[in-house]
Structure 1
Amino acid sequence: MGIVVITGTSTGIGFATAATLARGGHTVFAGMRNPDRGDELRELASKERLSIRIVRLDVDNDDSVDEAFKNILKENGHIDVLVNNAGISGGGPVELVPIGIFRQIMETNFFGAIRCIKAVVPSMRERRSGCIVNITSVAGQFGMSPQGPYAASKWALEGLSECLAQELSAFNVRVAMVEPGVIATPMTTSPRPMPPPTNPYFPIIRRMVAYFTASLKTPSSPFEVAETIQGIVDGKSTKLRNPTGHDGAKLIQWRKSKTDEEWVKLGAASDSEWAADAQKNLGVDVNSP
């Protein structure tokens, strides 16, 4: 069993992954920007006698990342697994989203992962052992309006991960991506405000909200994602890309079933045409509100 560091563990996928890997016998260091939000995970660890330690870890901050990983390495001598889970959502038409939001999303979802990767790679490379799991998204495989800011950050992380996997393969360090679809977490279940009908992009925003609403009628648990991660960590999966959730693989296949031009044209389709195409390919009854 190994020493595992997971980022963004106060809720959702990070919480589920910390619990799942600790139940599997691993020693988990659960990173949180604000450890005061870790009461639920502390209670679980105490109740089940799990080896989970909550550590202050703000992936947006160089000093916070350096201090957290230096302390873990000093105490344990090595880190076997890094799970880069910390991330934030954010969408909207490219024209309307402020540049500051783009920067904020990229800072956490992309640069935050890089900070943590840089903290563990030297020791993993020297030991010729280790595993890095980057939680990307199906949005890292294809772009769907109005998810430009979020998709851009996940595309960037997927590109980095593929390069990193090649770089570290010679040193017996594995890199894998986990690509969730719509998972029932606070990120997806929080109310999604609708823009006024006068918004020029109102139809495409309405469709995305409709899809999330329909998908969450049969929600995938974050523990399903955690099981995918556990399979990678324990060596049951050796794939670079690992779609997960009930719609993860379906969404990616939907994109692959179309040419680039067909996919772009779908953005201009009528609501009924879009809903029919989504239902045909995803098996989800999407009726725009």
Structure 2
Amino acid sequence: MKKTILITGTSTGLGISIAVEAAKAGHHVYATMRNTDRRAALDQAAAQAGVELTVLPLDVQDSATITPVTDRIMRDHGRIDVLINNAGMGYARSLEQADEADIQRILDINYTGTARCIKAVMPHMRKARAGHVINITSVGGLVGQPFNEVYCGAKFAVEGLTEAMASYVTPSFGINFTAVEPGGIRSEFANTVLRQIEETGGMLDDEYLPILQKYVSGSQTRMGEGIYQTPDEVAAVVMRVMTDPEPPIRVRSSDWAEEFTRIKTGLDPDGTRQQQMVVKTFLL
């Protein structure tokens, strides 16, 4: 079945791969990004794949840019079948060192931006009694990691949002929610984090410095340990989830991510047992 899909954060990496793969599968794809002047990479990938998609401006930090997109999709097709919340931003710095404005920005892009987009599509999906919200989170939404506490906190929040809405919106209105949890992705995302360290003061000469140096120097070693996937590999998992008639509430995108989070997910890999317990506790 051809679906109408709204995707955020499609100017680079995973967003491009998801948009192109969805278009190749024959779906109506609305690929959005904060600044459409940065659409060249997406256009090139779409041209190489021989597919067409609609590119629109959408800033997850500004509700005034989200509503026009959902209105446009409803005018064009009368429904929004899938929302893929892919827009995100990494941040690597200790909480003690972090500027409060940076903390607010990371939370706003990674968590509140996701919530804004879900809020915008919910009336349409609820009326249709159907839909699927796919939130790209991270293993960092399950397991806290060094110097990533601000980022992990935001992704933990998205995990909670996903679980909570799945507990009552799914059984009541037929709208599914899934958190896709990659490990590392070989894209601009990792490079952006390293640039961000430099742009926000670099490696500060304090007691955290030797720990941060160990963390950063180990990144090259970790490249060969199965942590990092290509954007296309993660996009394939998103596509599989999107076509699943009974999609999981959470899913890891690689064997490494599965193993890394196994202590937390081992008893309930896809989140359905916990959902059933929540429903039984609060709604039955």
Shorter-normalised TM range: 0.7 to 0.9
Structure-2 residue corresponding to 1:210: 217
Structure-2 residue corresponding to 1:195: 203
Please say if residues 31 and 55 of structure 1, whose CA atoms lie closer than 8 Å, have aligned partners that are also in contact.
yes
Structure-2 residue corresponding to 1:177: 179
Give the TM-score, by structure 1 length. 0.83
Kindly indicate whether residue 112 of structure 2 is the aligned counterpart of residue 111 of structure 1.
yes
CA distance in 2, matches of 1:229, 1:178: 7
Deviations 1:106-135 (A, max 9, x none): 110011111110111111111111110001
Give the TM-score, by structure 2 length. 0.84
CA distance in 1, matches of 2:14, 2:45: 15
Matches within 5 A, 1:224-243: 224-235=233-244, 238-243=247-252
Aligned CA-pair RMSD: 2.0
Report how far residue 246 of structure 1 moved.
5.2
Q: 1:34 and 1:105, CA in 2 relative to 1: closer, same or farther beyond 3 A?
A: same
CA distance in 2, matches of 1:100, 1:3: 36
Deviations 1:202-261 (A, max 9, x none): 23322332343222246410111101100111117722111114532232136779xxxx
CA distance in 2, matches of 1:8, 1:97: 24
Please say if residues 146 and 204 of structure 1, whose CA atoms lie closer than 8 Å, have aligned partners that are also in contact.
no
Please say if residues 231 and 237 of structure 1, whose CA atoms lie closer than 8 Å, have aligned partners that are also in contact.
no
Q: 1:175 and 1:211, CA in 2 relative to 1: closer, same or farther beyond 3 A?
A: farther
Residue type of the partner of 2:233? E
CA distance in 1, matches of 2:27, 2:219: 34
Deviations 1:171-192 (A, max 9, x none): 1111000011111010113583
Q: 1:204 and 1:255, CA in 2 relative to 1: closer, same or farther beyond 3 A?
A: farther
Report how far residue 18 of structure 1 moved.
0.5
Q: Secondary structure at the match of 2:185?
A: coil
Q: Secondary structure at the match of 1:242?
A: strand
Residue type of the partner of 1:247? W
CA distance in 2, matches of 1:136, 1:99: 22
Structure-1 residue corresponding to 2:30: 29
CA distance in 2, matches of 1:10, 1:18: 10
CA distance in 1, matches of 2:10, 2:35: 10
- The unaligned stretches of length 5 or more in structure 1 are 258-289
Residue type of the partner of 1:92? R
Q: Secondary structure at the match of 1:110?
A: helix
Report how far residue 45 of structure 1 moved.
2.5
Which deviates more from structure 2 when the two are superposed, residues 135-144 or residues 232-241?
232-241
CA distance in 2, matches of 1:166, 1:256: 18
CA distance in 2, matches of 1:187, 1:213: 15
CA distance in 2, matches of 1:216, 1:256: 24
Please say if residues 91 and 193 of structure 2, whose CA atoms lie closer than 8 Å, have aligned partners that are also in contact.
no
Q: Secondary structure at the match of 1:247?
A: helix
Percent identical among aligned pairs is 31
Q: Secondary structure at the match of 2:173?
A: coil
Structure-1 residue corresponding to 2:87: 86
CA distance in 2, matches of 1:94, 1:104: 14
Structure-1 residue corresponding to 2:77: 76
Report how far residue 30 of structure 1 moved.
0.3
